[in-house]
Amino acid sequence: MTFTYHRTIRFQDTDAAGVVYFANILKICHEAYEESLEASGINLQNFFQKSVIAYPIVHANVDFWKPIFCGDKLVVNLTSEKLNGEKFAINYKIAIADSLVSQAMTRHVCIDVASRQKRELPDAINQWLQSTMTS
């Protein structure tokens, strides 16, 4: 099921040319990711600060088809994909009204914080993946 996040572009998101700075699209995608985790019942403070598990991004890409300006109202549609027992990907489609303006993807791996070794995804993340998987 798709998770939808709404975001207005602010002046601070733009560059000297007046359009969204490319890296800020990934920042906005991460905001959508965090909102989707919280909506599924995951406590963000525990998830990011107090966990013995982390989910670093090991790959990211983004494509732009139209410029995005200050004041634009974005609709970010997020879906996830379980890649294997320890990896998942998140796909983001970014639109203004009904026009697709950008698309991004982040790939994450589950690791043990202390050892930095890969580990199986825990139940809470598997449940979140189920709730946001592409149908």
Q: Which domain holds residue 69?
A: 3-132
Residue 51, pLDDT score: 82
Cβ contacts of 49 within 8 Å, gap of 6 or more: none
Of the candidates 15, 63, 98, 112, the residue annotated as catalytic is: 15
36-88: pLDDT as tens digits = 999 999 988 888 887 899 999 999 999 999 999 999 999 999 999 999 999 99
CB 27 within 8 A of CB 12: no
Active-site residue, 15 included: yes
Which CATH number characterizes residue 58's domain?
3.10.129.10
pTM of the model: 0.94
The tally of domains found in the chain comes to: 1
- Secondary structure percentages of the chain, helix, strand, coil, to 5: 25, 40, 30
5-20: pLDDT as tens digits = 999 999 999 999 999 9
Residue 92, pLDDT score: 98
pLDDT class for 135, splitting at 50, 70, 90?
A: low
Residue 8, pLDDT score: 98
